[in-house]
């Protein structure tokens, strides 16, 4: 059944019934070609979404792809701040997010008004913000960073300059420790990464002494202290390719294990468990709001679209472009 856009907006596009016999994968491929759309998917998406994407990657790679794509439409299989970043980098393109409710607890931990007041206390400081922030926060930011390029971004700032780092205090503390800086940190965190249980990871390590512990720098310090390798999703994935190691305890969102399995199916990947003893792994419920049905509907009806005011796009673009320039200089 076909719907009119007006009806969909009123009805709620997610309530649409679609024919169960539809082969969503081939329908999505057809729509993608028809509309000259590109599908960008983050490593935390489910495996079936990663498998239909044109590009799968970490936050930096997806921003770089969004900036250079020739497509007319970007379907962002990720969360809201990622789609906003794509819109800021490619303002003339239509940017779709399968579910507008796909937010981010870390981005939400830095509301605009509070952060503006915080920044005013340090008028001479440079503001470095993690890409996991709203577009509004990026308008208050000098340079955006991701976990792949954060060290390079911070090292590019003269040593005598004070820095405010937001919003992730775990990543900020980790960066202070590896750069020797004393950045002022906003007190935010990701609800997925701060929940990994040190005790349960140590118990897994006892059962699997040959397993390497991999941790994303959004994890709390005690987990980072026991990690054999700390890095962004792409860095963790690269580490698993090392021939020396065959077993890994993975302390980040479990979606990344799909790519690890694809790259090296004979190795063993154990998702690190959270404090809640009923779960074996820690999923981001925002990332997992997306599914193939929503992607199909979004491509077909070109909804929901991520729209930003022109003024916000212009103000936020500088901080993201500075990040892309420093990343290019460092071959990232």
Which residues 230-259 are close enough to bind ligand SF4 by CB under 6 A?
Answer: 253
Q: Is 129 among the residues that bind ligand 13P (CB under 6 A)?
A: no
Q: Which of 66, 79, 110, 135 binds ligand SF4 (CB under 6 A)?
A: 79
Query: Which CB atom, from 104 or from 249, has the smaller least distance to ligand 13P?
Result: 104
Binding status of residue 84 toward ligand 13P by CB under 6 A: no
**Residue closer to ligand SF4, measured from CB, 200 or 216:** 216
Q: Given candidates 69, 149, 232, 290, which one binds ligand 13P under the rule CB under 6 A?
A: 232
Q: Which of residues 191-220 bind ligand 13P (CB under 6 A)?
A: 218
Among residues 110, 192, 224, 316, which is the contact residue for ligand SF4, using CB under 6 A?
A: 192
3-state secondary structure the chain: CCCCHHHHHHHCHHHCCCCCCCCHHHHHHHHHHHCCEEEEEECCCCHHHHHHCCEEECHHHHHHHHHHCCCCEEEEECCHHHHHHHHHHCCCCEEECCCCCCCCHHHHCCCHHHHHHHHHCCCCCEEEEECCCCHHHHCCCCEEECCCCHHHHHHCCCCCCCEEEECEHHHHHHHHHHHCCCCEECCECCCCHHHECHHHHHHHHHHCCCCEEEECCCCCHHHHHHCCEECCHHHHHHHCCCCCCCEEEEECCCCHHHHHHHHCCCCEEEECCECCCCCCCCCCCCHHHCCHHHHHHHHHHCCCECCCCHHHHHHHHHHHHHHHHHHHHCCC
Our finding on whether 104 is near ligand SF4 (CB under 6 A) is yes
**65 part of the interface to ligand SF4, by CB under 6 A:** no
Specify the stretch interacting with ligand 13P by CB under 6 A; choose among 47-55, 57-65, 68-76, 257-265.
Answer: 57-65
Q: Given candidates 105, 146, 197, 264, which one binds ligand 13P under the rule CB under 6 A?
A: 146
Q: Is 147 in the site for ligand 13P (CB under 6 A)?
A: yes
Of 139 and 282, which has the nearer Cβ to ligand 13P?
282
Q: Choose the one of ligand 13P, ligand SF4, none that binds residue 147, judging by a C-beta under 5 to 8 angstroms depending on kind.
A: ligand 13P
Instruction: Verify binding: residue 233, ligand 13P, rule CB under 6 A.
Output: yes
- Judged by the rule CB under 6 A, the positions of this chain that interact with ligand 13P are 43, 58-60, 132, 146-148, 190, 218, 232-233
């Amino acid at each position: 059944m076909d719907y009119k856009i007006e009806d969909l907006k009123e009805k709620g596009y997610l309530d649409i019934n679609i024919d169960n016999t539809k082969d969503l994968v081939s329908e999505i491929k057809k729509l993608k070609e028809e509309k000259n759309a590109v599908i960008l998917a983050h490593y935390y998406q489910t495996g079936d979404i990663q498998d239909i994407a044109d590009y799968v990657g970490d936050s930096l790679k997806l921003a770089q792809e969004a900036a250079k794509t020739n497509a007319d439409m970007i379907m962002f299989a990720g969360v809201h701040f990622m789609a906003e970043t794509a819109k800021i980098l490619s303002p003339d393109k239509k940017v779709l997010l399968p579910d507008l409710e796909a937010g981010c607890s870390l981005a939400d931990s830095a509301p605009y008004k509070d952060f503006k007041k915080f920044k005013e206390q340090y008028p001479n400081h440079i503001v470095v913000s993690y890409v996991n922030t709203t577009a509004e926060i990026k308008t208050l930011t000098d340079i955006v960073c991701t976990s792949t390029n954060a060290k390079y971004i911070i090292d590019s700032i003269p040593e005598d300059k004070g820095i405010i780092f937001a919003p992730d205090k775990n990543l900020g503390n980790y960066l202070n420790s590896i750069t020797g800086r004393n950045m002022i940190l906003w007190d935010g965190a990701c609800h997925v990464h701060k929940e990994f249980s040190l005790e349960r990871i140590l118990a897994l390590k006892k059962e699997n002494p040959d397993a390497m512990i991999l941790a994303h720098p959004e994890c709390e310090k005690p987990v980072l202290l026991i990690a054999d390798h700390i890095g962004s999703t792409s860095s963790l994935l690269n580490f698993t390719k090392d021939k020396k190691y065959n077993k890994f305890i993975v302390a980040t969102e479990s979606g990344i294990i799909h790519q690890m399995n694809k790259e090296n199916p004979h190795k063993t990947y154990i998702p690190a468990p959270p404090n809640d003893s009923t779960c074996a792994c820690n999923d981001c419920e925002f990332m997992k709001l997306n599914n193939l049905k929503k992607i199909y509907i979004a491509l077909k009806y070109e909804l929901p679209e991520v729209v930003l005011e022109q003024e916000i796009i212009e103000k936020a673009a500088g901080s993201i472009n500075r990040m892309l320039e420093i990343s290019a200089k460092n071959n990232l």
